[in-house]
């Protein structure tokens, strides 16, 4: 008879997550994908999604529709946990920036704050050497 082998490294889900009616949304909109993370006020992740996780591949991942679908998927999970109001932090230059905000509003969450946290270089990369003719 074959014996069942039980792995010692089984993942245990964390269930004691404190969720109040306020939360945060981090939207990272790159040129290739849009990532959405819903957290509580402490910063612990409640739910996340991305355009790739929503089933889009290739060039369609970078579309505003893909970003909308990703936000809707994550917002459903968050609404079930009891979050009603969110602060939105948007990062990156991608096409999903505005679409993500509209999707958060249409999902039934009220937006208390919108902040752009895109990193901006204060000096930038080293300039190329001077041209000699």
State residue 17's pLDDT score. 82
Q: How confident is the model at residue 19 (pLDDT cuts 50, 70, 90)?
A: confident
Q: pLDDT tens for residues 111-130?
A: 999 999 999 989 988 999 99
First to last CA, the chain: 82
Is residue 2 domain-resident?
Answer: no
Is residue 98 domain-resident?
Answer: yes
Structural domain total, the chain? 1
Is residue 11 domain-resident?
Answer: no
Q: How confident is the model at residue 14 (pLDDT cuts 50, 70, 90)?
A: low
Q: Which residues contact 103 (CB under 8 A, 6 or more apart)?
A: 67, 68, 71, 72, 75
Is residue 13 domain-resident?
Answer: no
State residue 18's pLDDT score. 82
Residue 56 to residue 1: CA distance in whole angstroms: 44
Residue 30 to residue 115: CA distance in whole angstroms: 17
Q: What residues pair up with 88 in beta bridges, in sequence order?
A: 25, 114
Token pair, residue 86, equals 């969110």
- Domain CATH code at residue 69: 3.30.420.80
Q: How confident is the model at residue 4 (pLDDT cuts 50, 70, 90)?
A: low
Q: Is the pLDDT of residue 15 over 70?
A: no
The domain containing residue 89 runs over which residues?
A: 22-115
Is residue 132 domain-resident?
Answer: no
Is residue 111 domain-resident?
Answer: yes
pTM comes to 0.82
Is residue 72 domain-resident?
Answer: yes
């Amino acid at each position: 008879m074959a014996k069942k082998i039980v792995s010692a490294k089984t993942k245990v889900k964390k269930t004691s997550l404190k969720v109040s009616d306020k939360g945060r949304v981090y939207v990272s909109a790159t040129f290739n994908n849009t990532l959405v993370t819903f957290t509580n006020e402490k910063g612990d992740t409640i739910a996340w999604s991305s355009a790739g996780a929503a089933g889009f591949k290739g060039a369609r991942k970078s579309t505003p529709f893909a970003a909308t679908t990703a936000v809707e998927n994550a917002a459903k999970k968050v609404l079930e946990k009891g979050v009603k109001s969110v602060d939105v932090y948007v990062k990156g230059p991608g096409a999903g920036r505005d679409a993500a905000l509209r999707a958060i509003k249409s999902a039934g969450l009220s937006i208390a704050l919108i902040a752009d946290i895109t990193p901006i270089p204060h000096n930038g990369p080293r300039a190329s050497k001077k041209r000699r003719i």
